[in-house]
Amino acid sequence: MARIVILGAGVMGTAFSVPLADNGHTVHLVGTHLDGDIIEEIHDTRTHPRLHVRVPDRVQPFTYDRLGEAMVGAELVVMGVNSLGVDWAAERLGPVLPPGLPVLFLTKGLAGDQQQLQILPHVLRAGLPKHLRDTVQLAAVGGPSIAGELAARRHTCVVVSGADRARLDKLANLLRTDYYHVWTHTDLIGVEVCVALKNIYALAVGLVIGLREKEGTTANASAMHNTAAAIFAQGLYETAYLVEQMGGRPQSVFTLPGAGDLYVTCQGGRNSRMGRWLGLGLAYSVAKAQHMSEDTIEGAELALAIGSTVQTMVAAGRLDGARLPLLRTMIEIVCHDASVAMPWDAFFADA
Amino acid sequence: MARIVILGAGVMGTAFSVPLADNGHTVHLVGTHLDGDIIEEIHDTRTHPRLHVRVPDRVQPFTYDRLGEAMVGAELVVMGVNSLGVDWAAERLGPVLPPGLPVLFLTKGLAGDQQQLQILPHVLRAGLPKHLRDTVQLAAVGGPSIAGELAARRHTCVVVSGADRARLDKLANLLRTDYYHVWTHTDLIGVEVCVALKNIYALAVGLVIGLREKEGTTANASAMHNTAAAIFAQGLYETAYLVEQMGGRPQSVFTLPGAGDLYVTCQGGRNSRMGRWLGLGLAYSVAKAQHMSEDTIEGAELALAIGSTVQTMVAAGRLDGARLPLLRTMIEIVCHDASVAMPWDAFFADA
């Protein structure tokens, strides 16, 4: 049995403690500076306020100022912060992370520095002290995992991805239960690109909910699943292009990290809810301020994080804009309050 | 403007007449021997009994005994029969099909002859008189197209696939409207394998509806989208394997014919409804007889059509059974009334 630290007590970080606890590990769940209330509530009631499940007894809650204490004897650190918290996490982990320890990312996203796109494990590495950068073992979980379902022990299938197959197999063995099915592979970049982009393409699929409401009903009361499915397919096609451009493997696109995670993210949630407002005709800034001011909309966060970098790379010819019409449309919608208009004729270029 | 014959007046054949009529073509909609009532109703009321839309005035209904008359001057035949009707169609078309005429398949399925799997356009070709076999121009539509939505002119994106790009472009130009978006490519086999298999994998995804009802609710009222999404991803992964084995191209898998069509087919319909009964624990034969005796369940039809051929090919080493655990599970469920048990550990072999 291992001692495992989860940094970030949001729904995913906390849900991840359930299979770990079921495997007999001791879990130290360390809230970020934003998770104070959650840690207090778990401490007092053993319940996560948004996950609505009892947190297993083997899970000990910690506030972030006690991270050093929580890290003593840890064999694995799990990154459960949100996509904006990676720099913060690097700062906090720098002084307390032993060389060579694996860091497993649940956090999803991409970063852009106006020159290029980066996966978040590489952002973390860049933020660590020099002596840790070469030794830290970066890995990531990818696949369709709604936190509440994992916490309820519904069958969930994921991959754990990283550089070294033997280490990954060891890691996967820490995680596997009879409901949490884990495969390993070495396409870290492919996995990270897929699971980040799924948020922005799920936001795009969600537009159709609003478009249908706006267009109104038809004589035969038809839905608009054809439209949503076409956007889904274009999203996956663009994901394949970006995975290839960033050095990942196509197989990740049509297995759990790509198709599986995009599918699950289209089943509802905040991206879909924001998509509806946009499809109804609200500008992103208005919809955010008026209807979802308290919510993190991950697809929109991604557009804001990489929008200008993607535009720069396209302008410089380092990305082929003709292969990314949906991503560029979503960036215009989120970053520049553009109205929703699907560039159908630009879809599936070179397919 | 062209004269176009659609053979088969089911929902898809009839819905396809809408963009054709909008483009100003004259459409002869020829019912099969099973479509007598439909043709009569369209003749009398201009309404399709299951599609619930007004059939455009440019569409003339014909009974199958008048196929020869309907074919006069036709530039294109559209195959809208169901998957069991291809041999019948070949017999009927043989005497009246001019050499070199394009035949465009809406019909989805695969055939098995215990030795190998065949796409339906090739089954049609084999059933035509010898002098037509070398000249008939086979093509197929693939992509997420729920008939009622196409008939209601909702945005729908498809590919038209066949051997000759120039002919395909001409064909696509007959079909394209501002709501029916058509791309061309030459991977006929890939498209046909994807759009056939989507039915059986949508049936598999549908199992989760019943499994969830059977397992009951959880403390946090969680859905089972993770489980459904994992099955979705495994289905797409197996599709990629079979596309490759049959000589198609991987790109079809993660664009409209594969991911797009599987996505739309999982949004409900008869495969999902049967999936629910199976997930609840009913044997296929019982569920079919007691609850859906009047319905064609396309995923089950496919399992019945190719089940024993797949098993033979796996036994003979001509297909790798380890790469098809979900397909084989569904064949057992449909062909042999096996109970539902997902072989999780067998998923994603070699991924």
**C-alpha–C-alpha distance, residues A69 and A62, integer Å:** 9
In a domain? residue A171: yes
Element (H, E) at B102: strand B102-105
In a domain? residue A95: yes
Interface of B with A in 265-324 (CB under 8 A): 266-268
Chain B residues inside the 8 Å CB shell of A159:
348, 351
Same domain, yes or no, for B103 and B216?
no
B351 pLDDT higher than 90: no
Cβ atoms within 10 Å of B296's Cβ, excluding its own: 12
pLDDT tens for B38-96 read 999 999 999 999 999 999 999 999 999 999 999 999 999 999 999 999 999 999 999 99
Same domain, yes or no, for B181 and B281?
no
- The answer to whether residue A347 neighbours chain B at the CB level (below 8 Å) is yes
In a domain? residue B328: yes
> Cβ contact (<8 Å) for A226 and B250?
no
Structural domain for A295, as ranges? 189-346
pLDDT tens for B247-264 read 999 999 999 999 999 999
> Cβ contact (<8 Å) for A144 and B233?
yes
Q: Which residue blocks in chain B are alpha helix, DSSP H? A: 11-22, 36-45, 67-71, 86-93, 120-127, 130-133, 147-151, 165-175, 188-215, 225-245, 261-265, 270-280, 284-291, 298-315, 325-336
Same domain, yes or no, for A201 and A315?
yes
Chain B residues inside the 8 Å CB shell of A14:
none
Q: Which of B137, B166, B186 is the last residue of a domain?
A: B186
- The whole-angstrom distance between B270's CA and the closest CA on chain A is 15
pLDDT tens for A174-195 read 999 999 999 999 999 999 999 9
- The answer to whether residue A149 neighbours chain B at the CB level (below 8 Å) is yes
Same domain, yes or no, for B213 and B84?
no
pLDDT number for residue A351: 79
In a domain? residue B351: no
Mean pLDDT of the A148-177 span: 97
pLDDT band at A340 (very low <50, low <70, confident <90, very high): very high
Same domain, yes or no, for B84 and B32?
yes
| Closest chain A residue to the Cα of B212, Cα to Cα | A154
In a domain? residue A342: yes
ipTM confidence: 0.97
Element (H, E) at B202: helix B188-215
pLDDT tens for B24-39 read 999 999 999 999 999 9
In a domain? residue B315: yes
In a domain? residue A351: no
B350 pLDDT higher than 90: no
- The residue type of A242 is L
Same domain, yes or no, for A223 and A96?
no
- The answer to whether residue A93 neighbours chain B at the CB level (below 8 Å) is no
3-state secondary structure of B182: strand
Provide the CATH number for the domain around residue A237.
Answer: 1.10.1040.10
- The answer to whether residue B50 neighbours chain A at the CB level (below 8 Å) is no
pLDDT tens for B108-128 read 999 999 999 999 999 999 999
B167 pLDDT higher than 90: yes
A136 pLDDT higher than 90: yes
pLDDT number for residue A176: 98
Same domain, yes or no, for A182 and A264?
no
A86 pLDDT higher than 90: yes
A44 pLDDT higher than 90: yes
Mean pLDDT of the B235-243 span: 98
In a domain? residue A174: yes
Q: In terms of residues, how long is chain B?
A: 351
Same domain, yes or no, for A137 and A212?
no
Same domain, yes or no, for B105 and B235?
no
Same domain, yes or no, for B159 and B139?
yes
Q: Which of A161, A186, A211 is the last residue of a domain?
A: A186
pLDDT tens for B265-281 read 999 999 999 999 999 99
Active site residues of B: 198
**C-alpha–C-alpha distance, residues B129 and B136, integer Å:** 11
- The whole-angstrom distance between B99's CA and the closest CA on chain A is 30
Same domain, yes or no, for A77 and A210?
no
**Parallel, antiparallel or unpaired: strands A76-79 and A117-119:** unpaired
- The whole-angstrom distance between B90's CA and the closest CA on chain A is 30
Q: Which of A134, A157, A186 is the last residue of a domain?
A: A186
pLDDT number for residue B33: 95
- The residue type of A89 is A
pLDDT band at B184 (very low <50, low <70, confident <90, very high): very high
Catalytic residue among A108, A130, A170, A198: A198
Same domain, yes or no, for A177 and A312?
no
- The answer to whether residue B350 neighbours chain A at the CB level (below 8 Å) is no
A350 pLDDT higher than 90: no
B235 pLDDT higher than 90: yes
Q: Give me the number of domains chain A comprises.
A: 2
Provide the CATH number for the domain around residue B161.
Answer: 3.40.50.720
Q: Which of A110, A84, A118 is nearest to A303 (CA)?
A: A110
